[in-house]
């Protein structure tokens, strides 16, 4: 079995292989693809970030993934967070929707999500290397969309009042 860290390091050295895989995968994707992520926060007002195996440029980011055909984006976020981390989160509302500048047929959607105390224990999927709960003010190099999503949650006052 291949070690996840080895795959992540390999992709960092040869990032074009990840880009090639995306282009090949697009042959089977619908005309427009959608990625859905969540700004997941807890009772302490911390934000969940995860380290992705397949994201060599910005390994740390928000949990989420690709929307399936006929799937609601909110359901995508709930499903992806659960698959990647084992957490059962409450999807609260959309935070941000953007056209991805480097993928002409792709949209990114971010939802605000809440992980209550009884959301479960974090159990990482094979797509992830690690996770952290961070202060929303903490500076972590995130892909632009993820950074803007966390900023949008902050601007909307999410982290001034933690209770949902």
Q: Assess contact for 150 and 39: CB atoms under 8 A.
A: yes
For residues 66-89, average pLDDT: 95
CATH 3.90.79.10 for domain 4-155, yes or no, is yes
Q: Which comes out higher in pLDDT, residue 102 or 65? A: 65
Q: Where are the domains of the chain?
A: 4-155
For residues 15-23, average pLDDT: 80
Q: How far apart are CA 6 and CA 13, in angstroms?
A: 11
**Does position 1 have pLDDT exceeding 90, yes or no?**
no
Which residue has 């059962």 as its token pair? 88
For residues 78-90, average pLDDT: 97
**Structure-block tokens of residue 106:** 């792709």
Question: Model pTM?
Answer: 0.79
Q: Assess contact for 99 and 107: CB atoms under 8 A.
A: yes
For the stretch 22-60, pLDDT in tens is: 778 777 765 778 999 999 999 999 999 999 998 888 999
Range with the poorest average pLDDT among 18-27, 30-39, 66-75, 143-152: 18-27
Crossing angle for the helix pair 15-26 and 4-13, nearest 10 degrees? 100
pLDDT at 160: 63
Measured at the alpha carbon of residue 120, what is the angle toward residues 84 and 83, in degrees to the nearest 5?
Answer: 20
pLDDT at 10: 83
Q: What mean pLDDT is reported for the chain?
A: 88
Q: Which comes out higher in pLDDT, residue 20 or 128? A: 128
């Amino acid at each position: 079995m291949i070690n996840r860290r080895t795959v992540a390091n390999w992709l960092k050295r040869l990032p074009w292989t990840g880009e090639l895989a995306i282009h090949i995968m697009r042959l089977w994707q619908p005309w427009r693809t959608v990625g859905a992520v969540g700004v997941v926060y807890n009772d302490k007002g911390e934000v969940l970030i995860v380290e992705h195996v397949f994201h060599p440029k910005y390994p740390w980011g928000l949990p989420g993934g690709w929307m399936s055909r006929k799937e609601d984006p909110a359901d995508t976020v709930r499903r992806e967070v659960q698959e990647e981390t084992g957490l059962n989160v409450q999807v609260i509302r959309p935070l941000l929707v953007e056209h991805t500048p480097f993928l002409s047929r792709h949209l990114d959607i971010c939802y605000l999500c809440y992980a209550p105390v009884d959301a479960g224990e974090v159990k990482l999927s094979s797509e992830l290397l690690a996770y952290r709960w961070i202060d929303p003010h903490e500076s972590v190099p995130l892909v632009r969309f993820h950074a803007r999503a966390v900023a949008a949650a902050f601007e909307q006052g999410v982290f001034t009042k933690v209770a949902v």
